Every structure is written in C-alpha cells, then in structure tokens.
Amino acid sequence: MAVAGILNHTLETLARPKSRPEVKPAKLDHLSNKTALILFAVAEAVLGENFLKKCPKFIETVDDYLNYQRPAQRQQLITALLVAETRLFNLIVGGNLRGFSHLSLADRREVLEKLRSSDREQSRNIYAAFVTVAAGTYYSSDLTWPDIGYPGVSVDHPEILNQKPAPWRPQDPRPIEP
C-alpha cells in the first residue's frame, strides 16, 4: 500500500494529461484533476465522443463509486490510469511517444485493442478495468436507457408492472397480484 501510494504520487507528479474543457476542476474524493482528465480520455475511447451528453455526471459518479472500493483496489485503478498516461507505456503498447490523453481517439482505441488482446494478464486486466468502469457508469445514466429500450425502474414507473398481460409473460392468463 505504501509502495503503491509512493508510485501513484510519483506518476501523478510527472503526468501532464491533456486539458479538456469538458472536465472542470472540481473537489473530488479520490480523483485529482489530473486523474480525472485521464479517466475522461479513457472513457472517451471506450464510449465515444460527446459521451458526457448522456452521462453528464460521469466523473463524479466514478469518483463516488471509488468510496466503496477497498483501498487497495481503488489505488490499483488510479495506478492504471496514471500508468496509461506515461510515455513509456504508450511506447511499449502502441508505439506512441505521447501520453494516452494526448492521443487521437483512433490511437487510443488501438491501445485499448492491444491491451485487450495482450498475452499479459496485467494488460488484459487494465483493459477490463477501463471498459467495466466506463461502460457500467455510462449505462447507469437514465439518458442512455432509451437507446437500449429500457423503460426504467419500477418504483419510478409503477405502470410498468401493471400492464396486462405483462409483456415478459405474454399470453399468461393469470392476474397480476397486487
């Protein structure tokens, strides 16, 4: 833990992520302004440009989620973000000499693809962490639900459960119990 802390501190000091107007400096529990920018670049690669339109609280949601991780796992995600921003990492993985956040969208996706198909377990784990966090957070936003035909939760829309016949058990003649 102490080693991870020192590593993260060093990496963060050296990191120079690309500024993005979409990411405003904010007081967050676990992400710094720098790691928030790297997370944004990762999320953009996973989700596509303008993803904040449908998930405006993406950074805040991830940051809050980190409260519920055990500290070691939280550190690991932050380490993965900071490592991804190092030039050495991008040189080895994608042949780029710039930090991840400075790469074009296409180049970032190429890096993701290489991580995904890597023979190294650690690289695949980084890929899994990035896509899990980004995709899970994005599709937690109500604004994305119409895209996938999800009407929402029943406590907000009790009428969903009162349709007759219930669309998930069509032709079932039994009444819906109260």
Partner 1 sequence: MPGKIVEGRNLKDEWTLTPDFCVVGSGAAGGVCALKLAEAGFTVVVLEEGPNIPKGQGHGDKSHVRPMLNERESMMYKLLYQEGGARLTKNGSVKILQGRCLGGGTAVNWSACLPPRKETLLEWQKRGLPFTRENLDPYLREVVNYLPIVRNDKYNTSARKFIQGCDHLGMPHDNLPNNTHNCRECGSCGVGCPYDRKMSGFVKWLPDAVARGADVFTDTKVDKLVTSGDRVREVHAHFLDGKNRPTKGTLVVKPNKGVVLAAGSIGTPAVLLRSKMDLGGRVGKYTHIHPVTITIGKYPQPTHPAYGVPDNMWSPKFEAGPTGYLIETGSFFPVLSASATLQHGEELHRIMRDYYPTGAISYAHHTTGFDPKEEYGTVELDDNGDPELDYTIPEANVKSMQESLEVMCRIHLAAGASSVYVMRNPPLEVKAGSGFEEIKKIDFTESQRATIFTVHVMGGCQMNNDPKRRCVNNDFTFGSVKNLWVTDGSIFPTALGANPQVTIYALALWGAQEICRKHNAPFKLNHQQGGQWPWPGY
- Residues of the shown chain interacting with partner 1 in the complex, contacts defined by CB under 8 A: 1-2, 29, 45-48, 61, 64-65, 67-73, 109, 112, 116-117, 121, 124-125, 127-141, 144-145, 147-151, 153-156, 158, 160-161, 166-169, 172, 174, 176-178
Backbone angles phi, psi at 18, to 5 degrees: -70, 130
Instruction: Considering the complex, state which of residue 102 and residue 109 has its C-beta at the smaller distance from partner 1.
Output: 109
User: Nearest approach, Cβ of 78 to partner 1 (angstroms)?
Assistant: 14
Residue 59 beta carbon to partner 1: minimum distance, rounded to whole angstroms? 14
The owner of tokens 């119409």 is: 146
Rounded CA-CA distance 87/34 in Å is 15
φ, ψ dihedrals at 110, nearest 5° = -65, -40
C-beta closer to partner 1: residue 86 or 118: 118
Nearest to partner 1 of 14, 135 (CB atom): 135
Closer of 14 and 174 to partner 1 (Cβ): 174
In order of 82, 136, 147, 156, the CA distances from 46 in angstroms are: 17, 11, 17, 29
Q: How far is the CB of 134 from partner 1 (least distance, A)?
A: 8
Q: What is the CA radius of gyration of the chain?
A: 20
Q: What angle do CA 140, 59, 74 make, to 5 degrees?
A: 95
Provide, rounded to whole angstroms, the least separation between the CB of residue 79 and partner 1: 13
